[in-house]
Structure 1
């Protein structure tokens, strides 16, 4: 950490050039003898990345930005706030894999005390400076391995939080046991130090496999922002042996929308099928990742088009459906498409259909864009169709 970057002159320069291209800045000669052009570029790039995830931080003078990988991996305002809502006020939490400190920052808004652990000493120094700049007095920063700190601590915590790295020795890993730290291996240690464990896991992780390896899982949260699955959160509670509650959570500008179920409910639920009706529904990625394929239609009382076509339909508009809602314009049997739809441009979606989107566009000469949506899919009868629809705004 180059403290010369924090001088008033350098900070003024960075504010004046906050919208500059970082790559261009790196090629210029630095106007400061104690700060290189690459360091200036890193601060500009970091601020621009932070503006997309943690915009309130960029309004605070003197925030120091690390290398881009730390910002790429950090949480956003939306996901940070949500995680803070999972812990009780006045509790004590240790963040074993602190990183840039965004999660610790939001946990500190609820917890009495937060311990932030980071193995990268340079990053740990940056985080400690930023917490001080942000005026946080209830976070204790530790430069070192979080597991080692936990093993040597006599402290008992209410929560242990970790975000295991999916990149080990420059290689991506996919099994939970291969991530660092290995939270499967350390479960006994964790439960000897805390009553509750919260783990942030990769969106690509197989939820069912994780449930086979993690003990006492009480809840699983699947978080999405703008129909993009951002995080999986596994909450383990000491001694819990009941059904796992799964929550598909859409983090929206106007708040959040949650659909909850258990896998026992999903297994017992029976889908009802029917033809395409006046309205069509495309569930948010949080629902599909969570595996709410039958329980969604069952709980909402709407028909599905096919067991493997995850689209739903109803004669009357369902205003609070957790996903995109469409008004159906027409249903085109595949055989009639050979004559052309008369649509030169549309948003094409392939669901349980033998052709990929790019192949559909090429075959039927449909450009991307416009107001029309075309869902190429299979119906319960086995017929292949294209459903033409207009998207309805979120309420």
Structure 2
């Protein structure tokens, strides 16, 4: 996970640098220039001031993933982008605890989020990171844990003798002077998926975090695949092998939200399972959570709701009655119209709509462009902010494109 040069971290790894960083409050972009000048005037070197302000900015950004722990951690930009949220890392670690695993190698540990979670559950952790800067960050982040050791090495070359569990978060981006670039082929990851599978064949308990867009045909046959969403954002698919794989589960959708955790599972392979009916747009329209869609469990949710798909190829569900579910967001259907820009523009005018939320699935229409065409002034808000708010769902039924006026159910 090559990232920021070592020079951006090194100035902080001494008492002066650490004390300066600890003295900074939450990062404020509007105040950054003034603070920069003030710190230099106080006698701090430009290199130290730059490093400290960069870390202050990253720490503030990291609070969404790490909460209050972010205030004591060291970050890199690319490392933070890929880092596991602590709430999710804790669930990873719990798998190893429940399997009775005592020593886990975190191969490609990045900034150490998963290693922190493992170590906090009294598991001995060997955290391995190939990038020197990132390894330095992980070392600092794991200082509170005596049972965690950071090794600066290639994950594929480290001895696993005496280690009964392995966790991997392969680097899925490359970094250059032009910035970071996402990789899509699992064999281009570092380490590649084939290496993960070779570890699983050794019989060890193996878990690996992959990007949520992983195609079903790329998921190995001998694992459990669990897609995870946090507050509606699909963050990963974790593949679990051997002792950390749950019996009878092939695919799962774990939904973490304000109301807690909910999970939907299936023992069927991808492409198998129940076939829901297809029916009219009526009553309530449900938009399944992204983890449910990725895990191929939309049909299961439709049947649970007593509903049907509006089109067999599109992940929108309709049901005549409202039912509470953590696996989909519900909308009350108000009107169904053919998709026609001129007619929709007249509808917006007649209804006095000034703020328009547009959702779409199964159509190439760009919501931002359509909003500009439909609203007076071309966008929501502004002078229209006090006017009526509406939600429009664009989709298709067979070859016909339709626009559905809906009202969110809170």
TM-score range for the pair, normalised by the shorter chain length? 0.7 to 0.9
RMSD: 3.0
Q: Distance in 2 between matches of 1:359 and 1:107?
A: 46
Q: Distance in 2 between matches of 1:47 and 1:77?
A: 14
C-alpha spacing 1:140/1:330, structure 2 compared with 1 (3 Å): same
Answering whether residue 309 of structure 2 is matched by residue 304 of structure 1, we say yes
Give the match for residue 210 of structure 1.
Answer: 218
Give the match for residue 280 of structure 1.
Answer: 285
Of 319-328 and 86-95, the range deviating more from structure 2: 86-95
Q: Distance in 2 between matches of 1:47 and 1:240?
A: 34
Give the match for residue 129 of structure 2.
Answer: 118
Q: Compute the TM-score of the two structures, normalised by the length of structure 1.
A: 0.84
Q: Distance in 2 between matches of 1:250 and 1:71?
A: 22
2:67 paired residue among 50, 55, 62: 55
2:163 paired residue among 156, 166, 176: 156
Answering whether residue 382 of structure 2 is matched by residue 375 of structure 1, we say no
Answering whether residue 206 of structure 2 is matched by residue 197 of structure 1, we say yes
Instruction: Report deviation, 1:365.
Output: 3.4
- Per-residue CA shift, 1:94-143, capped at 9, x if unaligned? 100111101111122335211111123343233223322xx322212212
Answering whether residue 49 of structure 2 is matched by residue 14 of structure 1, we say no
Answering whether residue 233 of structure 2 is matched by residue 228 of structure 1, we say yes
1:167 paired residue among 156, 164, 173: 173
Task: Count matched residues.
Answer: 378
Instruction: Report deviation, 1:9.
Output: 4.9
Q: Distance in 2 between matches of 1:13 and 1:239?
A: 42
Q: Compute the TM-score of the two structures, normalised by the length of structure 2.
A: 0.81
Q: Is the 8 A contact 1:344 1:365 kept in 2?
A: yes
Answering whether residue 47 of structure 2 is matched by residue 38 of structure 1, we say no
Instruction: Report deviation, 1:225.
Output: 1.8
Give the match for residue 340 of structure 1.
Answer: 347
Q: Distance in 2 between matches of 1:75 and 1:186?
A: 18
Q: Which runs of no fewer than 5 residues in structure 1 stay unpaired?
A: none
Instruction: Report deviation, 1:169.
Output: 6.6
Q: Which runs of no fewer than 5 residues in structure 2 stay unpaired?
A: 1-9, 382-387
2:89 paired residue among 80, 86, 90: 80
Q: Is the 8 A contact 1:116 1:141 kept in 2?
A: yes
Instruction: Report deviation, 1:71.
Output: 1.9
Answering whether residue 406 of structure 2 is matched by residue 389 of structure 1, we say yes
Q: Distance in 2 between matches of 1:175 and 1:376?
A: 31
Q: Is the 8 A contact 2:207 2:244 kept in 1?
A: no
Q: Distance in 2 between matches of 1:300 and 1:269?
A: 14
